[in-house]
Structure 1
Amino acid sequence: LKFEEWDKMRPQTIFVSATPGDWELKQSKGVFAEQVIRPTGLTDPECIIRPAISQIDDLMGECKKTAAKGERVLVTTLTKKMAEDLTEYFHDNGIKVRYMHSDIDTLERIEIIRDLRLGVFDVLVGINLLREGLDIPECSLVAILDADKEGFLRSTRSLIQTIGRAARNAHGRVILYADKETDSIKFALSETNRRREKQIKYNKEHGITPKTIQKSISSTLSEMTETQLDKNALPTVEEVKNIEKQIKEYTKLMKEAALNLEFEQAMVYRDKLKELEAIALKNL
């Protein structure tokens, strides 16, 4: 079905989104319920605007201070080249840093995020990959470079999503480097501050102290056990008679899992593939 066809025949609908778009708000006639209060007492992060003209050196100082506290930094740039250049510059100045962009495959991305959480490095530089889906409680600072450059990556919704990456940490802060305050920045900060004020007021009234989310790194990336793999009705390595056939099956499962955004499961399949390939090499 085309979207228009689906829209005409859809039943009563509930739209669920952290950042609803104009279409959803229009369809619901502005009537919505919002979940602003978090069980952990965490508030939306404090947002600060600083001049873009001195953004690199200012950010470098912030990265060093944040790393010294054992916390992590996410930096979002507008271009791949800027991400690479910034990474090289920070590295030359003694900062443990890596960058992530669309050329890096999905499974490697998961490993990079794991290493960031483990403290193998302290600063992760990216482009639009930092908008959604990154759950990194150790991250206490998000830096948005060239925040005043209007466009898709600096739209109100993108800014709100990026700001949200610092909302998992009790000390979360966001620095927007901008020489002018665009409409997107105004709306994004207005919404963030609106939520933050509600959260702070609620915490004060109920005696709640915000606590950083405690999330085991091993349970995030290694929770898929052999027992869970058995659910796929695939034989164990010891039972495998036709190694090539099993390699093909696991390769297919790995790709399907990645397409379905089941990245942790895909990593388990990848590890199983390595095990099978090692056996195949021994039998050559």
Structure 2
Amino acid sequence: VLMYADSVTDSMKAAISETQRRRQIQLAYNTEHGIDPQTIRKKVTDILLSLRGEDQAPTTPKRERRRKVTHPEMPTEELERLIQGLEEEMHQAAKDLRFEYAARLRDEVQELRKELRQLREAGVA
């Protein structure tokens, strides 16, 4: 971390000393456990993919169930319950500050609503 200032404030002194204290603890731990710290070596493409969210953990079973394609035979009530559940999950994700996940849920809800609307227009619902 680089700090630019004309003078060192008390807050800066505290931050610097805390960083040094933590560094000493980490060095002692590494020495005790024979750990030789290594620089992370990633390709730029790996970093870009992670920024776009493409190397996320595999989908959970809940997400897998949600991804199933709905069919005209699927009762509209079930589809409406699915949409409601996704909306609740979306709002909870937003409260938990998981905005990218909430946005994906929002997109999924929009697709399901579109599908529900098409089913109703086709007279299936």
Q: CA–CA distance in 1 between the matches of 2:67 and 2:30?
A: 52
3-state SS in 2 of match to 1:177: coil
Question: Aligned in 2, Cα 1:236/1:177: closer, same or farther, shift over 3 Å?
Answer: same
Map of 2:76 onto structure 1: 241
Contact residue 257 and residue 265 of structure 1 kept, 8 A: yes
Contact residue 86 and residue 105 of structure 2 kept, 8 A: yes
Alignment deviations for residues 202-237 of structure 1 (CA, whole Å, 9 cap, x no partner): 4356542213398993453x5333x23368xx7955
Segments of structure 2 that go 5 or more residues without pairing to the other structure are: none
Question: Aligned in 2, Cα 1:191/1:213: closer, same or farther, shift over 3 Å?
Answer: farther
Matched, 1:255 2:82: no
Contact residue 251 and residue 273 of structure 1 kept, 8 A: yes
Question: Aligned in 2, Cα 1:213/1:263: closer, same or farther, shift over 3 Å?
Answer: farther
Question: Aligned in 2, Cα 1:281/1:213: closer, same or farther, shift over 3 Å?
Answer: farther
Q: CA–CA distance in 1 between the matches of 2:22 and 2:10?
A: 18
Q: CA–CA distance in 2 between the matches of 1:278 and 1:213?
A: 44
Matched, 1:223 2:58: yes
Question: Aligned in 2, Cα 1:196/1:213: closer, same or farther, shift over 3 Å?
Answer: farther
Report deviation, 1:267. Answer: 4.4
Q: CA–CA distance in 1 between the matches of 2:5 and 2:33?
A: 36
Greater fraction of residues in helix: 2
Question: Aligned in 2, Cα 1:223/1:268: closer, same or farther, shift over 3 Å?
Answer: farther
Q: TM-score, normalised by structure 2?
A: 0.56
3-state SS in 2 of match to 1:176: coil
Q: CA–CA distance in 2 between the matches of 1:235 and 1:206?
A: 45
Segments of structure 1 that go 5 or more residues without pairing to the other structure are: 1-173
How many residues align? The count is: 107
Q: Report the AA paired with residue 30 of structure 2.
A: N
Q: CA–CA distance in 2 between the matches of 1:276 and 1:262?
A: 21
The percentage of aligned residue pairs carrying the same residue is 36
Map of 1:194 onto structure 2: 21
Superposed CA RMSD: 3.8
Greater fraction of residues in strand: 1
> If you compute each CA radius of gyration, which structure gives the higher value, 1 or 2?
2
3-state SS in 1 of match to 2:110: helix
Question: Aligned in 2, Cα 1:240/1:186: closer, same or farther, shift over 3 Å?
Answer: farther
Map of 1:277 onto structure 2: 113
Question: Aligned in 2, Cα 1:199/1:256: closer, same or farther, shift over 3 Å?
Answer: closer
Contact residue 76 and residue 116 of structure 2 kept, 8 A: no
Report deviation, 1:193. Answer: 1.0
Q: Report the AA paired with residue 199 of structure 1.
A: Q
Question: Aligned in 2, Cα 1:281/1:241: closer, same or farther, shift over 3 Å?
Answer: closer
Question: Aligned in 2, Cα 1:254/1:265: closer, same or farther, shift over 3 Å?
Answer: same
Report deviation, 1:197. Answer: 2.7
Q: CA–CA distance in 2 between the matches of 1:228 and 1:249?
A: 11
Q: CA–CA distance in 2 between the matches of 1:207 and 1:235?
A: 46
3-state SS in 2 of match to 1:210: coil
Q: Report the AA paired with residue 189 of structure 1.
A: I
Q: CA–CA distance in 1 between the matches of 2:100 and 2:58?
A: 8
Q: CA–CA distance in 2 between the matches of 1:206 and 1:252?
A: 46
